[in-house]
Amino acid sequence: DVSLSVTKGEFLGIIGPNGAGKTTLLKLMLGLLTPTSGDATLFGQSVSSMDPKERARIEAYLSQDVMTSFPYPVLDIVLMGRYSYLPRFGKESEHDIEEAQRALAYVGLADFESRLFNELSGGERQLVLFAKVLAQDPTLFVLDEPTSNLDIRHQDQFFSMAAELAEEQKGVIAAVHNLDIASRDCSRLVLLDNGRVAADGSPEHVLRSE
């Protein structure tokens, strides 16, 4: 029983206790789950009916899971964000590489191109994956508690960058567990409780004692 819409320039924080439905809602938005009723749409088109590459040019997903067992160079990880723009069996162009390098510079890891992803700290890995979704150049960023395992410095850095994306007229949706950060950086909050919207509005409206 959830109905909501998100516009460009909005930073929507999804909050609520464990089991409230935050991750399920995000996966419905991404087409990773099929709703038993209702629909999730992007610009009026059903998410589940879209071609995956088409969908990937519109929305990008970042989860809290930063594990990988393969020693990929950091630049290769970020270039994975350009997959939806490549022709079949095609290789990355100079433009793709420039976009990946620009994303790494934005997150403060310009010198990390050749370092191995599995040798980085947890905070550095998550910043690399954030650079990957930046390189994807979507209209909508969907972030599932992306800083839950990070220290406060990396949390602040991460959400400040997400807020900047909204200021650049991107849409940002994030499941957030840190209510202090949610109140500071999100322009709107939706509180979920047992799969329903318990409150929807500005942080001042939603984060009240009652």
- Taking every pair of Cα atoms in the chain, the longest distance, rounded to a whole number of angstroms, is 56
What predicted TM-score, i.e. pTM, was given to this entire model?
A: 0.91
What is the pLDDT at residue 75? Answer: 96
Q: Which of 164, 159, 163, 194 is closest to 177 using CA atoms?
A: 159
Give the Cα separation of 194 and 18 in Å (integer): 9
What is the pLDDT at residue 67? Answer: 67
Q: Would you write out the chain's pLDDT as a tens digit for each of its 210 residues?
A: 788 999 999 999 999 999 999 999 999 999 999 888 899 999 999 998 899 899 999 999 998 776 666 789 999 999 999 999 888 777 888 999 999 999 999 999 999 999 999 899 888 888 999 999 999 999 999 999 888 777 888 888 889 999 999 999 999 999 998 899 899 999 999 999 998 999 999 999 999 988
Q: Are 173 and 40 in contact (CB under 8 A)?
A: no
What is the pLDDT at residue 63? Answer: 87
